[in-house]
Structure 1
Amino acid sequence: MKNNQNSKFERAKLKVANLKGFYNHLVVYIIINLTLIIFKEKIIFTLISKEAIGNPDFLHWINWNVFGTPIIWGIGLLVHAIVVFGSKPSFVKKWEHKQLEKYMRE
């Protein structure tokens, strides 16, 4: 019975660590991307040199980075959420179970 409680405690501890990691990821995502969007004009003004003024390619590049970053990073955040909150694929569950058995035998 004591072993079962330790196992439940370890699983709960791992779940909390995974949740904490996801929420930290979410907070950093929000802070960085809000900063990029809010200060977009300031970033453009700071980065534009005399050679780049009026260059539509440069301005397009900045727009892509300001708006592309949340999209691409958001996909990664979505995958992270699926891993933390969603169900794991069966091959991942089997692998984890085999690894647990392996380390318990040691």
Structure 2
Amino acid sequence: MGVAMETNYNEEDKYYRAKKKVENIKGFYGNLVSYILVNIFLIGINLYTSPDHLWFYWPLMWWGLGVVFHGMKVFEVFPAFGKDWEEKKIKEFMEKERDSKNKWQ
């Protein structure tokens, strides 16, 4: 019975992780669409109101950098710092805390 419950928990855990990943991907695409639409609007405003003084590239560049990093995180371009790394570090710190408490009891 314990094994069946563990398997069920693992399936639930897998579902939760997959759902979270899909939500993160949707969030990235929402950010990307906003980036494109807002920057098209800003380029239009800049070219219409002050074509001699171009400033649209500043939000294009800085927000674009944010979009790139967001995408790198969502699509785990550097998996060493992905969710598995976070969970491994959390477990490591929890074990150190437990060992430290046991040492002084």
Q: TM-score, normalised by structure 2?
A: 0.66
CA shift digits 1:8-29 (9 cap, x unpaired): 1011011011101100100110
2:32 is aligned to 26
- CA RMSD after TM alignment: 2.6
After TM superposition, give the deviation of residue 89 of structure 1 in Å.
2.2
| Distance across 2 between alignment mates of 1:41 and 1:98 | 49
Identity %: 33
| Distance across 2 between alignment mates of 1:42 and 1:31 | 17
Higher relative contact order (CA 8 A, sep 6+): 1
| Distance across 2 between alignment mates of 1:92 and 1:12 | 12
Q: Please tell me the residue identity of whatever aligns with 2:46.
A: K
Distance 1:19 1:66, change over 3 A: same
> How many aligned positions are there?
86
2:80 is aligned to 89
Any gaps of 5 or more consecutive residues in structure 1?
Answer: 46-55
Q: How does 1:59-70 map to 2 (within 5 A)?
A: 59=53, 63=54, 65-70=55-60
CA shift digits 1:24-60 (9 cap, x unpaired): 1001100110111123233338xxxxxxxxxx8xx3x
Q: How does 1:12-51 map to 2 (within 5 A)?
A: 12-44=18-50
